[in-house]
């Protein structure tokens, strides 16, 4: 049982959630975490389960313009945010567009602000839709992990992500 977790992250929160999901999935089998900039679309075939996640930007998956905005915000003198090395891109949207038709199990997650999803939007919904159109079978409903307005993970979200990763991997074992 091999799980690949591909994530995009501007400030590290989705990265932290991806690592937590991997800790959970690793209780069921092997789990590998890769930032989207280093994820080779061909590698997907070698895994039993592919979990894909990114931050919610403007109600959905990031775009080149929103990633640029995120990096510029971190570069401001008074910013408490630090951009991840690959923050400028490519994003999950681009990576999924480069993926050939695939089969097997997949799941989608995102990070987003801790407000009702109708207000914030959810990148995971769009990720799941693209995964399904590529031919994957969805092993779980799209899941969101929450940050506050200062971009800190809400207490308990890493633990919840670990449980989610374990449950999704166990479900397809």
Ligand X SMILES: Cc1cc2nc3c(=O)[nH]c(=O)nc-3n(C[C@H](O)[C@H](O)[C@H](O)COP(=O)(O)O)c2cc1C
Residues of this chain that bind ligand X (CB under 6 A) = 9-15, 55-59, 66, 69-70, 111-113, 120-121, 147, 151
Long-range contacts of 115-119 (CB under 8 A, 24+ apart): 117/144
- Please tell me the distance from the alpha carbon of residue 109 to that of residue 59, in angstroms, as a whole number: 14
> Residues in the chain, how many?
173
The nearer residue to ligand X, 42 or 85, going by C-beta atoms, is 85
Please state the closest distance from residue 33 (CB atom) to ligand X, in A.
13
Q: Tell me whether residue 40 is exposed, middle or buried, using C-beta atoms within 10 angstroms of its C-beta: 0 to 12, 13 to 18, 19 or more.
A: exposed
The nearer residue to ligand X, 11 or 136, going by C-beta atoms, is 11
Which residues make Cβ contacts (< 8 Å) with residue 127, sequence separation at least 6? 52, 53, 54, 61, 92, 96, 108, 109, 110, 142
Please state the closest distance from residue 4 (CB atom) to ligand X, in A.
18
Please state the closest distance from residue 132 (CB atom) to ligand X, in A.
22
Please state the closest distance from residue 112 (CB atom) to ligand X, in A.
3
- Please tell me the distance from the alpha carbon of residue 96 to that of residue 99, in angstroms, as a whole number: 5
The nearer residue to ligand X, 117 or 170, going by C-beta atoms, is 117
The nearer residue to ligand X, 103 or 148, going by C-beta atoms, is 148
């Amino acid at each position: 049982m091999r799980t690949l977790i591909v994530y995009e992250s501007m400030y590290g929160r989705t990265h932290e959630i991806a690592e937590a999901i991997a800790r959970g999935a690793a209780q069921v089998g092997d789990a590998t975490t890769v930032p989207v900039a280093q994820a080779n679309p061909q590698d997907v075939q070698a895994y039993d389960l592919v979990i894909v996640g990114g931050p919610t930007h403007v109600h959905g998956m990031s775009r080149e313009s929103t990633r640029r905005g995120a990096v510029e915000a971190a570069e401001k003198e008074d910013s408490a945010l630090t951009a991840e090395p690959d923050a400028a891109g490519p994003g999950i949207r681009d990576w999924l567009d480069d993926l050939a038709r695939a089969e097997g199990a997949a799941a989608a997650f995102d990070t987003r602000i801790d407000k009702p999803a109708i207000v914030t939007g959810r990148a995971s919904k769009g990720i799941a839709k693209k995964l399904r159109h590529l031919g994957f079978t969805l092993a779980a409903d799209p899941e969101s992990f929450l940050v506050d307005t200062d971009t800190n993970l809400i207490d308990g979200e890493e633990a919840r992500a670990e449980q989610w990763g374990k449950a999704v991997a166990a479900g397809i074992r």
